[in-house]
């Protein structure tokens, strides 16, 4: 089944900006996250497709390759061909040029053997406070590890491990003439390994690896954002005899907080105030993301939507001791469910306010314009 276009997967146009891509990814990833759709295989598949598409399009180099070559830029051992690796270090676009021009320019740049075991991709979700402080997250990963019975050699006889493949002579590739070009493919005898096992291990059947479940503790640094990807080199699947292990890519999701909203290194906190507090002025105590408290002085006459900046009380900055700022966003609350005495006091206040326009200049100014509008009509 053909893969869907990455832009269509993220529901954005091909000229979408980096910010537009990020917003689209976050919106859809939240909608189809497995934790929000337990047991829904369709949502799980959609979530994986979103991660794959965003991993490519958020990188300028990979996006340029995709725009030019489509999915072919990431096939044949390149990014996206494994179990989640998207580094541009091997395969992909480089292999496309090698296959077409390698022999004309004097051969390929490197050997044809498999470079490493398969990469693994995993997802963890942490709280906003854990993202602020940094944390260790336990992770259980189904993977392949080196076979203990044969020490990863794949051979039953420890004194006679894998031998050089007689078909490709260790290259892992075979060549075939196609018109004017010589095309390289994985060797059918050794499967691209470059070596064959004459007396395979009975436990791993000569693969050198067995399926296991590993328990890891992933260190998530302070300041990570939602969607951050952490690469753990060599923690992916074992590659078998003589082949290094792949990498583990951990995608970090940050849960929304009930009090704070984050924007980069800044924190926003919406603080509702009583009408009297906003009118007369007040001093209120508000929480800080680091677990402390601070007092904020609200001047008389404060309006809904006004913000107060608290320097250095925002979010952690990744790989830095610095912190962003915290913004208190005021929301003036209209009184509800008034008792008799409260109503009398407000009515008295309204009578006084009506007699003195300066107490509500914006309201008086608006209705003055309304009167002028109607009086000026023919």
CB 240 within 8 A of CB 207: yes
Output the DSSP codes for 53-103: HHHHHTSHHHHHHHHHHGGGGG-SSSTTSSBS---SSSSTHHHHHHHHHTT
Q: Cα-atom radius of gyration of the chain, to the nearest Å?
A: 31
Dist CA 248 CA 229 (whole Å): 10
Q: What are phi and psi of 65, to 5 degrees?
A: -65, -40
Q: 302, 304, 284, 301: which is closest to 293 by C-alpha? A: 284
Question: Quick one: DSSP state of residue 358?
Answer: G
Known binding-site positions:
147, 150, 165, 168, 187, 190, 201, 204
Known binding-site positions for Zn(2+):
147, 150, 165, 168, 187, 190, 201, 204
Question: What residues contact 357, with CB distance under 8 A and at least 6 apart?
Answer: 364
Residue 280, both tokens? 């007369």
């Amino acid at each position: 089944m053909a893969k869907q276009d990455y832009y269509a997967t993220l529901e954005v146009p091909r000229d979408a900006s980096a910010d537009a891509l990020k917003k689209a990814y976050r919106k859809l990833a939240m909608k189809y996250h497995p934790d929000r759709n337990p047991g829904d295989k369709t949502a799980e598949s959609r979530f994986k497709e979103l991660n794959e598409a965003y991993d490519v399009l958020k990188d300028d180099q990979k996006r340029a390759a995709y725009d030019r070559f489509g999915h072919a830029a990431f096939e044949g051992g390149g990014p996206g061909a494994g179990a989640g690796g998207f580094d541009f270090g091997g395969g992909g676009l480089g292999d496309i040029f090698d296959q077409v021009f390698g022999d004309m320019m004097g051969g390929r740049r490197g050997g044809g053997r498999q470079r490493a075991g398969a990469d693994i991709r995993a997802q963890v979700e942490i709280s906003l406070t854990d993202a602020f402080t940094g944390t260790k997250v336990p992770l259980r990963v189904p993977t392949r590890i080196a076979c203990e019975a044969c020490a990863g050699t794949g051979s039953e006889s420890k004194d006679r491990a894998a031998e050089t493949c007689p078909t490709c002579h260790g290259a892992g590739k075979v060549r075939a003439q196609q018109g004017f070009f010589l095309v390289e493919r994985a060797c059918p005898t050794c499967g691209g390994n470059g070596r064959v096992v004459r007396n395979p291990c009975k436990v791993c059947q000569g693969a050198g690896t067995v399926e296991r479940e590993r328990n890891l503790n992933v260190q998530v640094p302070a300041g990570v954002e939602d969607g951050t990807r952490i690469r753990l080199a060599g923690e992916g699947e074992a590659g078998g005899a003589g082949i290094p292990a792949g990498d583990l890519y951990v995608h970090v999701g940050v849960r929304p907080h009930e009090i704070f909203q984050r924007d980069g290194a800044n924190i926003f906190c919406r603080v509702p105030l009583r009408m009297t507090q906003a009118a007369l002025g007040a001093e209120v105590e508000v929480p800080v993301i680091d677990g402390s408290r601070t007092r904020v002085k609200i001047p008389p006459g404060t309006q809904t939507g006004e913000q107060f900046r608290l320097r250095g009380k925002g979010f952690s900055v990744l790989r830095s001791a610095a912190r962003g700022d915290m913004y208190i966003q005021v929301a003036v609350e209209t009184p509800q469910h008034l008792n008799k005495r409260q109503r009398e006091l407000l009515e008295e206040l309204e009578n006084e306010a009506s007699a003195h326009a300066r107490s509500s200049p914006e309201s008086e100014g608006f209705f003055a314009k309304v009167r002028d509008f109607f009086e000026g009509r023919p």
